[in-house]
Structure 1
Amino acid sequence: MSKTVALVGNPNSGKTTLFNALTGLHQKVGNYPGITVERKEGTLTLLDGASVTLIDLPGLYSLTPQSPDEQIARDILLGYRTDTAQPEVIVNVVDASNLERNLYLTSQLADLGLPLVVALTMGDTAARRGVAVDADALSRELGLPVIPLHAASRAGLGELRAVLASPPPAPPVRRWQLPTSVEEEAKELAGLLVQQHQLAPETAFSEAVLLLGTPVAPKTTRWSPEILAHLHGDHERLTREGHDTTTAIAEARYGEINRIVEHAVRRAETPPTTKTERLDRLFLHKFWGYAIFLGILAILFQAMFTWAEIPKGWLEAAIAALARGIQAVMPAGSLRDLITEGMLSGVGTTITFLPQILLLFLFIMILEDTGYLARAAFLMDRLMSRVGLHGKSFIPLLSSYACAIPGILATRTIESHKARLLTILVAPLMSCSARLPVYSLLIAAFIPKTTLVGFHLGTRSFALLTLQGATLFSMYALGTLATFLMAALFHKTLLRGEAPAFLLELPPYRKPIWRTLGFRLGETALQFVQRAGTVILALSTLLWFLASYPKAAPETPKSVALASSYAGKLGHVIEPLIAPLGFDWKMGVGVVASFAAREVFVSTMAILYQAESDDEEEQAKTLKDRLSAEKRPDGSPAYTPLVAICLMVFYVLAMQCISTLAVVKRETNSWKWPLFQLAYMTFLAWFVTFIVHLIGKAMGY
């Protein structure tokens, strides 16, 4: 049986980077049972062939929890969770550039009585700030093994592996002391915890100190009524004696921490100006900070139509060649049609948008790993606080550009319940990567590549921003604007209250670790392909059946057969609801089908128009070409730039994601909020799209 080791540390201490460096591809990510808190486990093989199970616990500043993920980390360390064993060894990741703050958690971990190893990171950042940490002196003062690490260059990883392969180090002896009255109460409470709840003595003392350091007795069923009554009495008695237990415990710990730092740290008399400070003068500037932020976003959206176009073309060619190969070797019939017109057309068309989706994810990962994402949150706090959102809402909202589900889960770091709920309600309005195939298809087909900003170099012209890139940017801008407007509305009506104060740690700027980024990007690609091979494949098969049956007579034109199929009948039923938006019944089938997942709209269109084609030459056309050639019964184009814009606006604002609704239900523990979310977003999408179509028609488009 492998040893279980927990990686524990403050946020931005380099803990996750170390986890990725140690485990590489040998890790799995899921949620703890019954709660949407991410659970990351990995396997590390040591030099002697033994394996170690690493658990990457959520970042926390202390063992006094402020959020659900911090509560999970605390419960695992104290051995309270039945689904996760208490770790046998703790690796405490400590940021050398913020040593005093990080050692507070180290002090609490040392009290648990578990073998503890300190992994000292960010030594290079500390050096740039004029701070030198003597690891050997720090080890002597803490009474713990201290291993300097640099995960990016992998320096120190071998030494850490060697320590984990050795017999666990002995737990350190507690050196800090509480005031006499507080110390006596802590020991008495610890004795009761051992007696009534069979806790280990070290765990009991650690828990007693944590309970005494919390001003309000916890509302929990974990402890017996006698324990809670005793704790309440302790608080009253110590308060009467003039003790502020929270302050007393913190002062006792920091007194020992200051002594340790005095022996282990040397500081320059005049701290140098760091690269982070110089960059922040620009990136946090009142004008240039916002200009740079908008410029970065504009570059991203333009890049999606330039950098990703070549690999997208490769995928399209490969899928078309595969379809031709299948048609060449298989006899004509329903099975071949199912594979080529249903499975391959639906799944294949969706997969061609993988390069653009990966580019979006890579962009967000780079912003996060370099430290710029926290600066963007700082810049946006002033605007967000005016609509009732928390500054910490920005990172969940920006994460929702990739997918609303992790964005909603990221709201766990927001302490205010109202601000968290408000963020959850509006997060799906941010344009996620599932909308990107819809935008990309319609923009490529109906928006010209007109250059808006560019330059000439010799005889060559280079476009910095085209109308296509600007259109994509406008879709994301519309989603962001809708997010803020709806947040302001809900803040003034459903969720009234003062905007909470915003405190955010700004990490130093760092170079991304490309190996880690590559691994995370590979994970994202695998998840997308798995989704295409399961959800989209199943829906594509179902849609092909609905578009192909009941079978019409052989001489019936395919367009007529499609209109009389199950899919055609469904589309004609809902057509009166969507006709005011400029949509026909086929678009309606796509809208209904994509409720399971937004990107299914693309595969639905591919199946419907593939099934309608009468000859192989027509079927060989790309979906973009088939949409451009589609006509209404009166001979007018079914798709125009206005219709394309209306479809995109609808997808910007509509919910269209059953998985997101399920996560909102789990996070809010009620069906009230996801059903409300579905209702308001559907109405908002229909109403705004109707207005856009009305204005466009009035302008002659």
Structure 2
Amino acid sequence: MTAGCHEPGGTGAVTTGEARIALVGSPNAGKTSVFNALTGLHAKTGNYPGVTVSRYVGTCRAGGRGHVIEDLPGTYSLEPISPDEQITVDVLDGRLDGTPRPDALLLVVDATTLRRSLTLVAQVLSRSLPTCVVVTFTDELAVRQGYLDIDALSSALGVPVLPVVGHRGLGAPRLREEIAAWRSWPAPVLAPPTDPAELDAWAESVVAFADYRPAERHRATRRLDSVLLHPVWGSIVFFAVMMAFFQTVFTLAAPLQHQVESLFGWLSTLVDRHVTNRWLSGLLGDAVIGGVGGVLVFVPQIMLLFLLLALLEGVGYLSRAAFLMDRVMARAGLEGRAFVALLSSFACAIPGIMATRTLPSAKDRLATMMAAPLMTCSARLPVYVLLVGMLVEPTAGVGPFGAQGLVMFGLYLLGAVSAMAAAWVMKKVTDRGGAPMPFFMEMPPYRLPAPRHVLLAMWSSARAFLRKCSTVIVATSIALWLALNLPLHSPAQLQAAGVDTADSVTVSAYTIDHSYAADFGRLVSPVFDPLGFDWRINVGVLSAQSARETFVATLGQVAAAENPDDPAAALRTMAHQDGPRAGQKVFTAPTVAALLVWFAYALQCMATVAVIRRETGTWKWPGIAFTCLTVTAWLMAYLAHTITAALTGG
């Protein structure tokens, strides 16, 4: 078996194979796991509707040939009510531009919900394409005292039926053999009926003929759901889980973060000792190690965050959280499906915005797009960890909870509440009546996720963060380093300014203070002075338009230039150089609070702006989002600075 290609959201051509086979099935039927088992690719899997929105294409080797496998968006019916379901129907009917109609279909059905899946089975079989039914979770059906006669089901449907346990790869070799013989797949002798009453009778006859016995619902599942889905107790558990979540991120990742910091400190020392050219030494030591390394030290927190999210998703808890949040969504004028998109935004706003395709209502999609950038994405995490570390001592706590974790939880809560408020405002502006559509959600069984899948989910998300570090942040760090070190100053100019040219630290500090970046930072000072920012923070905030993490890289470069041996100490003691605050510390409690709130609200991600433009088809809404969130960020940061100054006397 060899893997082909992975094309999220694309429509490009794929290496030609013997057949083009589409995977069709409802969300959570195990479709993506089957795709992974066949192609060796690792698309994201989940337990809630709409997780497969992008396009995933791979190649499966079968019968000595490469067959193109396409994982279509999950759907419960071929009567679409949302854009992603429409994509599935258009592909099956050959109406999607740039995508040929499949030669054959793999119809994935969850054995534990067979009866409910037969409506989709009937609709797919009526397309008259060669079809093989793949039954997943047969192992779970047996454990839960259920039964299904696979051969009898094949006879009842008139097409090949194979059991596959996708997450363990069981049955995949047999399925590849079947794919090699796809031309021999028969069409049903009698097409399933389309009349609802006749369709219901047909489904009952199929279930009876296949000797199907549904899986029993575990008593433990019922007991857990009675608590986790309770409007009061479930909400208490949800907040407790989230608080424990952030406590864990801070507590467990701290030792690893110190190790990564030590590694980059050692690399910086190595560059200082062995690279004699001042410009090359500065480029490597300040731009790459000081800038990019200043962001990479937060990789332990990033990976732990994604690991915990993957665990919560894998055990089935996040679906329960989505059910609970349906009530909150309703108050914002949205439906429960919007929670899925907003939950995706915790990793990155871009997949969250793309996940709005699962929403039937165009107004709901727009409102959710406007709210998604306010959810606390992973790009904010390095900024938050840095600033919270300045604001709160590591040893501070409230009862059993660490104060840093509580502040982090508060920031995530602030983002979520603000997102709901933004959605509510958008609905009031764009909606002219109409109740939200009912939200139906399958509650997956509680199960221990496969460690391999959890680790793959963690690595997939962390890899995206590392890729950004190696591209956008490297490029921005180098550009910033140039802006912080130009124009050049001759030794005579330095001496005339009273700078000891033999002291590299003094030279670096003078160069940065008289750089193009400093001039620009001071130029915009009237805008940010009320927030307590100095020119160095101004440069960091504005450079973060390319990527929020660049703020950390900017401060890392400035701090490394001022104190190469201990950049963290340089940040803590950094003082205003001019103006009414000259000589005062830069990172006071009011200023740090203002920065935290600024980053909670500001839309500082051009990629997100571009995706909103692509999804809405106009620059109007991304322009409105950027303007409104920037103004809101300034106002809320000013409020945070004022209140914190009043409370602390700062």
1:160-175 pair list within 5 angstroms: 160-175=175-190
| Alpha-carbon distance, 1:645 to partner | 1.6
Which residue does 1:544 correspond to in 2? 481
Instruction: Assess, with a 3 A threshold, how the Cα gap between structure 1 residues 27 and 465 changes in structure 2: closer, same or farther.
Output: closer
Which residue does 2:344 correspond to in 1? 399
Which residue does 1:112 correspond to in 2? 127
| Alpha-carbon distance, 1:404 to partner | 0.7
* 1:262 has 2:213 as partner: no
Q: Which amino acid in 1 is paired with 2:247?
A: Q
Which whole-Å CA distance do the structure 2 matches of 1:272 and 1:388 have between them? 33
Which residue does 1:16 correspond to in 2? 32
Q: Which amino acid in 2 is paired with 1:687?
A: L
Q: Deviations over 1:347-388 (max 9, x none)?
A: 111111112112222222223332222211111111221121
| Alpha-carbon distance, 1:277 to partner | 2.4
Which whole-Å CA distance do the structure 1 matches of 2:293 and 2:305 have between them? 20
> Secondary structure of 2:60's partner?
strand
Which residue does 1:674 correspond to in 2? 622
| Alpha-carbon distance, 1:27 to partner | 7.2
Which whole-Å CA distance do the structure 2 matches of 1:508 and 1:690 have between them? 45
| Alpha-carbon distance, 1:396 to partner | 1.1
Which residue does 1:371 correspond to in 2? 316
Which whole-Å CA distance do the structure 2 matches of 1:639 and 1:158 have between them? 60
Contact 1:445/1:625 (8 A) holds in 2: no
Which residue does 2:559 correspond to in 1? 609
> Secondary structure of 2:250's partner?
coil
> Secondary structure of 1:567's partner?
helix
| Alpha-carbon distance, 1:592 to partner | 0.6
Contact 2:130/2:182 (8 A) holds in 1: no
Instruction: Assess, with a 3 A threshold, how the Cα gap between structure 1 residues 26 and 470 changes in structure 2: closer, same or farther.
Output: closer
Q: Which piece of structure 1 moves more, 586-595 or 464-473? A: 464-473
Q: Which amino acid in 2 is paired with 1:598?
A: R
Which residue does 1:186 correspond to in 2? none
Q: Deviations over 1:292-342 (max 9, x none)?
A: 111111111111211112222222222222222233332232122112111
> Secondary structure of 1:638's partner?
coil
Instruction: Assess, with a 3 A threshold, how the Cα gap between structure 1 residues 357 and 157 changes in structure 2: closer, same or farther.
Output: same
Which residue does 1:529 correspond to in 2? 466
Q: CA RMSD in A?
A: 2.3
Which residue does 1:249 correspond to in 2? 195
> Secondary structure of 1:433's partner?
coil
Q: Deviations over 1:50-76 (max 9, x none)?
A: 333221111012222222211222222
Contact 2:243/2:409 (8 A) holds in 1: yes
* 1:450 has 2:398 as partner: no
| Alpha-carbon distance, 1:517 to partner | 2.4
Which residue does 2:596 correspond to in 1? 648
Which residue does 2:61 correspond to in 1? 45
Unaligned 5+ segments in structure 1 are 30-35, 179-247, 455-463
Contact 2:544/2:604 (8 A) holds in 1: yes
Unaligned 5+ segments in structure 2 are 1-15, 46-51, 500-505
Q: Which amino acid in 2 is paired with 1:564?
A: H
Which whole-Å CA distance do the structure 2 matches of 1:335 and 1:443 have between them? 33
| Alpha-carbon distance, 1:25 to partner | 3.9
Which residue does 2:94 correspond to in 1? 79
* 1:506 has 2:522 as partner: no
Match for residue 146 of structure 2 among 100, 121, 131: 131
Runs of 4+ in 1 over 6 A off after TM superposition: 26-29
> Secondary structure of 2:133's partner?
strand
Which whole-Å CA distance do the structure 2 matches of 1:265 and 1:279 have between them? 30
Which residue does 2:371 correspond to in 1? 426
| Alpha-carbon distance, 1:272 to partner | 5.6
Q: Deviations over 1:386-411 (max 9, x none)?
A: 12122111111121111111111111
Q: Which piece of structure 1 moves more, 531-540 or 102-111? A: 102-111
Which residue does 2:276 correspond to in 1? 331
Which whole-Å CA distance do the structure 2 matches of 1:52 and 1:311 have between them? 44
| Alpha-carbon distance, 1:608 to partner | 2.3
Q: Which amino acid in 2 is paired with 1:45?
A: R
Which whole-Å CA distance do the structure 1 matches of 2:61 and 2:574 have between them? 58
Which residue does 2:158 correspond to in 1? 143
Which whole-Å CA distance do the structure 2 matches of 1:290 and 1:80 have between them? 44
Match for residue 566 of structure 1 among 516, 521, 534: 516
Which whole-Å CA distance do the structure 2 matches of 1:544 and 1:271 have between them? 63
Instruction: Assess, with a 3 A threshold, how the Cα gap between structure 1 residues 310 and 449 changes in structure 2: closer, same or farther.
Output: closer
| Alpha-carbon distance, 1:451 to partner | 4.6
Which whole-Å CA distance do the structure 1 matches of 2:603 and 2:233 have between them? 35
Contact 2:126/2:191 (8 A) holds in 1: no
Q: Which amino acid in 1 is paired with 2:209?
A: H
* 1:694 has 2:642 as partner: yes
Contact 1:93/1:119 (8 A) holds in 2: yes
Which residue does 1:583 correspond to in 2? 533
> Secondary structure of 1:132's partner?
coil
TM-score (norm 1): 0.83
Which whole-Å CA distance do the structure 2 matches of 1:515 and 1:23 have between them? 16
TM-score (norm 2): 0.89
Instruction: Assess, with a 3 A threshold, how the Cα gap between structure 1 residues 359 and 89 changes in structure 2: closer, same or farther.
Output: same
Which whole-Å CA distance do the structure 2 matches of 1:497 and 1:552 have between them? 65
Which whole-Å CA distance do the structure 2 matches of 1:325 and 1:566 have between them? 29
Which whole-Å CA distance do the structure 1 matches of 2:293 and 2:60 have between them? 37
